[in-house]
Structure 1
């Protein structure tokens, strides 16, 4: 672990290739004094944890705004992630979060970053896992890079929802299908010059490849990207805030009792770069 200290701002790397814990107070974060430093660490570390800062919703929005262009949710500034439909009418949609994914693969410009704060943790389970898809690409053998770097993948909500509901009726399948499909590169060449893998549950098939071979390669790359050296699992405490680079990080929620009223609040930063 590597630690640096500036004012009341201490940064500790969690693993060599992913994660950092930032020990500070909410006033320091809200001041914006370290915003450039935090943004600079996002691509390199992928995930940053601010333990028990206990943001209010208003403070979470304020802090998010210090890091880029804030994107409000459909029904307000905060998305309340809960399986209780009285709190979150989109609770069924949240079940898709149990599978590895990148937010925004049905768009040309995905979110730059997302932040979660923990309001009520699950009694068991409920960790959030992350993996660094920049580091996963960098570590691939050169011959494998050459074989995949020009491949294209079709993404769809249908592919993602089949993890949640493997045998939908026709009406439900038609509902999912209305969002259509989106063809993206398997390897994202970023404007920074770095590359990352674009994977996750929305991957349907690789263009021009036999369906079985396509699925095998997508699963192989997912297994590669999510192995121990590229990934971490965050065990939540109430008050934690976690932000991650959505352009080079996959994430998923680990299983927990669906009736336990686990509650997380999400804010988002607008995308700044198209898939290419």
Structure 2
């Protein structure tokens, strides 16, 4: 019998008793959990790549990144060719903020875990918006933000070479509303470390407001911290859940396998 419990007051559901993640009833419950709670967890499921892909496809179309549907997540260069850029994941972000339509969901399975550190934190931008004081909601309603890959990478490497800067700038920037009016009637905040500046605002004031908003959105009452165990499956709604990895040594054996589900709702 499948049972569930909240991971925190503001977000997340942990399912127990799952024997077949492809069962239609469980897929339906997982989809509802993602919509209303943002993060779902099944411990000890030990999905191989084939089963992880099959479950991901039950949620939607899977992104093929450079021809790969399974993407290794590690800051160890021996385990991932993207290890250098993945250090940006130590900071709060949404994936796909430089795209017109962000990715809908992400799945992660744990193959190896770090001895020290290496957890993953999640924060609900739905809850962050819903708990804003009315005056701040009114202030943020009309603001638009430019997001860029460069903004996130500068936190990792604040003094890039000309070559590194040129590489970052091959990734397009994207303008989006700060308050995303969702088609289901809810609203969430589009924020994170890719948020470069607020359109038409003084740069210093823009930076101060974006920093203040990120601090608000990631406070403890809107957050869940996941400590990985081998075999865990974690899935989250990338459109409304900020996430970040907690630091761990780049020589660590920590390795997660990721799939990404194609989005279907454009930024406002």
- Structure-1-length-normalised TM-score: 0.94
Q: 2:129 aligns with which of 137, 144, 154?
A: 137
Aligned length: 268
**Match of 2:122, SS?**
strand
Aligned to 1:21: 14
- Aligned residue number for residue 171 of structure 1: 163
Question: C-alpha deviations, 1:11-49, integer Å up to 9, x for none?
Answer: 10122211111112342x122322122111212111111
Q: Deviations over 1:98-120 (max 9, x none)?
A: 00000000101001100101000
1:159 to 145, 151, 158: 151
Q: d(CA) in 2 for partners of 1:87 and 1:258?
A: 10
Work out whether 1:63 is the aligned partner of 2:86: no
Deviations 1:142-172 (A, max 9, x none): 1100001110001111111101101011221
Structure 2 distance, partners of 1:24, 1:69, is 26
The residue number in structure 2 matching 1:98 is: 90
Residue 199 (1) aligns with residue 191 (2) = yes
Which secondary structure does the structure 2 equivalent of 1:192 belong to? coil
Instruction: Tell me the CA shift for residue 249 of structure 1.
Output: 0.4
Distance 1:229 1:122 in 2: 26
- 5+ long unaligned stretches in structure 1: 1-7
Q: Secondary structure at the match of 2:25?
A: coil
- For residues 62 and 17 of structure 2, the distance between their equivalents in structure 1, rounded to whole angstroms, comes to 22
Structure-to-structure mapping, 1:42-81, within 5 angstroms: 42-81=34-73
Map of 1:39 onto structure 2: 31
Greater mean deviation of Cα atoms: 40-49 or 109-118? 40-49
Give the Cα–Cα distance (whole angstroms) in 2 for the partners of residues 33 and 74 of structure 1.
Answer: 33
CA separation of 1:140 and 1:15: change in aligned 2, threshold 3 A:
same
How far residue 230 of structure 1 moved from its aligned partner, in angstroms, is 0.4
Give the 3-state SS of the residue equivalent to 2:137 in structure 1: helix
Change (3 A) 1:71 1:24: farther
- Contact (CA 8 Å) 1:32, 1:63: kept in 2 or not? no
Residue 89 (structure 1) aligns with:
81
Structure 1 stretches of 4+ with a deviation exceeding 6 A read none
Q: Give TM-score scaled by structure 2 length.
A: 0.97
Q: CA RMSD in A?
A: 1.1
Q: Give 3-state SS (helix, strand or coil) of 1:70's partner.
A: coil
Q: Residues 67 and 24 (structure 1 numbering): CA distance in 2 closer, same or farther, change over 3 Å?
A: farther
Q: Deviations over 1:167-193 (max 9, x none)?
A: 011221122112232111111101001
Find the partner of 1:259 among 244, 248, 251: 251
Rounded to whole Å, the distance in 1 between the matches of 2:73 and 2:7 is 26
The structural deviation recorded for 1:195 is: 0.5
Q: How far 1:75 sits from its partner (Å)?
A: 3.6
Partner of 1:10: 3
